[in-house]
C-alpha cells in the first residue's frame, strides 16, 4: 500500500486531551468489537461477573473512600445510600451482568429484507452504534450496568460518572477492563473518562465524529446541559412529569388504586405520577376517595380552585395547598401531587400537551371511546389505560434491562433496551448490477 494513503489509524501526534485520546482508543476498540459473535461477548460478560465477585474487597474499599468523602461533605442519607456498595450489592450487580449475558444479541438481526425488482438482494441488519458515552450521577452500579449493555450490543463505552464516585468507578472499571482483556476483547472497549473536572464532560460533548451518542442519566439540569451543549448526538432520558387522568366514567376503586400506586409506590423515580386530573362529572364522587387515600399515603396535594373548594366542603383530612402555575410543570419526585378538575377529556389532553414531559400519561376509564381518544391524542413515550404509570420500565416491558428511558422522539422513545443501542446498515448484493 502506497505511503500516501497508508495513514495511521490514530492521529500522530495523539490529541493532547486525555478525553479525546480515550475516545480514539474507544473508536479502535469499537471496530474490533463490532463483528464479534454473541458467544465471545457473553464470555466476556460472564468473566466480568466472576471478577466482580472475586474482587469485591478492592471495590468495596475504594467505595468506602467515596462514602467517607461524601459524609464529610455532609451529603444526605439518600445520596450516601445510592453511592454505597456492599458485598451484597456487588453480588447483585454481578448477577445483573449474568442476566445481560442471557439476553438475545441484537447485532446481526435482519430488520427487513427483500429482493428488489431488478434482482438485487437488500437486507437491513442491526450493527452496533460504535462508541457510546454515558454521563451519570453518583450511582456506581450504573458503571457496570451501562458497560454490560454496551458490550453486549457490540459498543465501546466511555463512562463519565460523578466525581463523588470516582474512586468506586475507578476500581470497578479496573475490574471490568481486566476481565474484558482476559476474555480476549480489547480492554479499551470500557473506559472511565479521565479527570474529575467539568472540563472532561465538555470535551466529551465536543467529541463529534469520535463518540457516536451521548446518553445523560440523572437530574434534569444535567440532561438539559448535555442536550444544549453537545455536538455529539444525544439521547435525552428520564424527566417524567407524568399525569393520571380519571375520566367521567371510571371504576372508582381502580382509579384510587392506580393513582396511589402511580404516585406513592416509589415517588423518587421518573415514572411516578406528578399530577392528577379529574373529569368534572366524576369529581364529586372520586375526589373525596382520592384525597383520603392520598392523605393516608402521606401525599401533599397541590390543588386547583375546584379541588381546594371540594376538599374544604367535604372536610377532607388531606393536606391540600393551593396550586400555582409552577406546580403543573414540576417533577416533584416526592410525596407531592398537583391536582385539578377538568371540563372534559379534551381539556385533560390539552393540559397534558401543555405541561407533560412526554414520559408516561395514564387514563382511568371504563369508556372504550375515551380510552381510544386519549391514546390517539396524547403524545408521550407511553400512554397507559387502566394501569399504573410505574410500568414504563425496561424490566416491566420485558426488555431484560434498560440503559435509560428516552423522552425524545428521535432514534428511541421510552425504555431503551439492547436494540436501542444499535444502528443498522443495508447490505446490497448483486451480480454486477448497474443503473
Q: Which of residues 279-338 bind a copy of itself (CB under 8 A)?
A: 304-306, 323-325, 328
Q: How long is the chain? A: 435
410 binds a copy of itself (CB under 8 A): yes
Provide the 3-class DSSP secondary structure of residue 179.
helix
Q: Within 244-263, which residues bind a copy of itself (CB under 8 A)?
A: 251, 254, 257-258, 261
424 binds a copy of itself (CB under 8 A): yes
- What phi and psi, each to the nearest 5 degrees, are found at residue 191? -140, 140
The residue written with cell numbers 446541559 in the block is 225
Based on CB atoms, which residue is closest to a copy of itself, 167 or 384?
384
Distance separating alpha carbons of residues 408 and 396, to the nearest angstrom: 20
351 binds a copy of itself (CB under 8 A): yes
Q: Which of 93, 381, 416, 418 binds a copy of itself (CB under 8 A)?
A: 381
129 binds a copy of itself (CB under 8 A): yes
385 binds a copy of itself (CB under 8 A): yes
Number of residues binding to a copy of itself, judged by CB under 8 A: 92
Based on CB atoms, which residue is closest to a copy of itself, 74 or 117?
117
> What number of other Cβ atoms are within 10 A of residue 76's Cβ?
9
* Beta carbon of residue 82, minimum distance to a copy of itself (angstroms, whole number): 21
Distance separating alpha carbons of residues 274 and 355, to the nearest angstrom: 11
The answer to whether 283 and 310 are in contact (CB under 8 A) is yes
Q: Which of 342, 345, 370, 401 binds a copy of itself (CB under 8 A)?
A: 342
Q: Which residues contact 290 (CB under 8 A, 6 or more apart)?
A: 246, 255, 256, 259, 276, 278, 339
Distance separating alpha carbons of residues 339 and 327, to the nearest angstrom: 9
Q: Which of 233, 268, 298, 369 binds a copy of itself (CB under 8 A)?
A: 233
* Beta carbon of residue 266, minimum distance to a copy of itself (angstroms, whole number): 8
376 binds a copy of itself (CB under 8 A): yes
Stretch that binds a copy of itself, among 45-53, 157-165, 177-185, 384-392 (CB under 8 A): 384-392
221 binds a copy of itself (CB under 8 A): no
Integer angstrom CA distances of residue 305 from 96, 293, 330, 338:
48, 20, 18, 12
Provide the 3-class DSSP secondary structure of residue 101.
helix
Stretch that binds a copy of itself, among 54-62, 96-104, 157-165, 381-389 (CB under 8 A): 381-389
375 binds a copy of itself (CB under 8 A): yes
Q: Which of 120, 198, 268, 369 binds a copy of itself (CB under 8 A)?
A: 120
Based on CB atoms, which residue is closest to a copy of itself, 5 or 77?
5
The residue among 260, 213, 195 whose CA lies nearest residue 404 is 213
Site string for a copy of itself, 57-76 (x = CB under 8 A): --------------------
Based on CB atoms, which residue is closest to a copy of itself, 181 or 419?
419
DSSP 324-373: -HHHHH----SSEEEEEEESSHHHHHHHHHHH--SSEEEEE-S-HHHHHH
Site string for a copy of itself, 31-60 (x = CB under 8 A): x--xx-------------------------
Alpha carbon distance, N-terminus to C-terminus of the chain: 31
265 binds a copy of itself (CB under 8 A): yes
Distance separating alpha carbons of residues 366 and 253, to the nearest angstrom: 12
Amino acid at each position: 500500500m502506497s505511503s500516501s494513503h497508508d495513514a495511521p489509524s490514530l492521529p500522530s501526534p495523539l490529541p493532547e486531551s486525555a478525553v479525546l485520546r480515550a475516545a480514539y482508543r474507544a473508536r479502535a476498540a469499537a471496530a474490533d468489537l463490532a463483528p464479534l459473535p454473541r458467544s465471545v461477548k457473553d464470555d466476556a460478560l460472564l468473566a466480568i461477573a466472576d471478577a466482580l465477585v472475586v474482587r469485591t474487597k478492592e471495590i468495596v474499599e475504594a467505595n468506602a473512600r467515596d462514602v467517607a468523602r461524601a459524609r464529610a461533605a455532609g451529603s444526605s442519607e439518600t445520596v450516601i445510600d445510592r453511592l454505597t456498595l456492599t458485598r451484597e450489592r456487588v453480588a447483585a450487580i454481578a448477577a445483573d451482568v449474568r442476566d445481560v449475558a442471557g439476553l438475545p444479541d441484537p447485532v446481526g438481526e435482519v430488520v427487513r429484507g427483500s429482493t428488489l425488482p431488478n434482482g438485487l438482494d437488500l437486507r437491513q441488519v442491526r450493527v452496533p452504534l460504535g462508541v457510546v458515552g454515558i454521563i451519570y450521577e453518583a450511582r456506581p452500579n450504573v458503571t457496570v450496568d451501562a458497560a454490560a449493555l454496551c458490550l453486549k450490543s457490540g459498543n465501546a463505552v466511555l463512562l463519565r460518572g460523578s466525581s463523588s464516585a470516582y474512586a468506586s468507578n475507578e476500581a470497578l472499571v479496573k475490574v471490568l477492563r481486566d476481565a474484558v482483556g482476559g476474555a480476549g476483547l480489547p480492554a479499551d472497549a470500557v473506559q472511565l473518562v479521565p479527570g474529575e473536572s467539568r472540563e472532561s464532560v465538555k470535551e466529551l460533548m465536543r467529541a463529534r465524529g469520535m463518540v457516536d451518542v451521548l446518553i445523560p442519566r440523572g437530574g434534569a439540569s444535567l440532561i438539559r446541559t448535555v442536550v444544549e451543549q453537545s455536538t455529539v448526538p444525544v439521547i435525552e432520558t428520564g424527566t417524567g412529569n407524568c399525569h393520571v387522568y380519571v375520566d367521567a366514567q371510571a371504576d372508582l376503586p381502580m382509579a384510587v388504586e392506580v393513582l396511589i400506586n402511580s404516585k406513592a409506590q416509589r415517588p423518587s423515580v421518573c415514572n411516578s405520577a406528578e399530577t392528577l386530573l379529574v373529569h368534572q362529572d366524576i369529581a364529586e364522587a372520586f375526589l373525596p376517595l382520592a384525597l383520603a387515600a392520598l392523605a393516608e399515603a402521606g401525599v401533599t396535594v397541590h390543588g386547583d380552585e375546584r379541588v381546594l373548594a371540594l376538599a374544604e366542603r367535604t372536610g377532607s383530612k388531606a393536606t391540600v395547598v393551593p396550586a400555582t402555575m409552577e406546580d403543573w410543570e414540576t417533577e416533584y419526585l416526592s410525596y407531592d401531587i398537583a391536582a385539578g378538575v377538568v371540563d372534559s377529556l379534551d381539556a385533560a389532553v390539552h393540559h397534558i400537551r401543555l405541561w407533560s414531559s412526554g414520559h408516561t400519561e395514564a387514563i382511568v376509564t371504563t369508556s372504550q371511546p375515551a380510552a381510544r381518544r386519549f391514546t390517539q391524542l396524547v403524545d408521550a413515550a407511553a400512554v397507559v389505560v387502566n394501569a399504573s404509570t410505574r410500568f414504563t420500565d425496561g424490566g416491566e416491558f420485558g426488555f431484560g434491562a434498560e440503559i435509560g428511558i428516552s423522552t425524545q422522539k428521535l432514534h428511541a422513545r421510552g425504555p431503551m433496551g439492547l436494540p436501542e443501542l444499535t444502528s443498522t446498515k443495508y447490505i446490497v448484493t448483486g451480480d454486477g448490477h448497474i443503473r
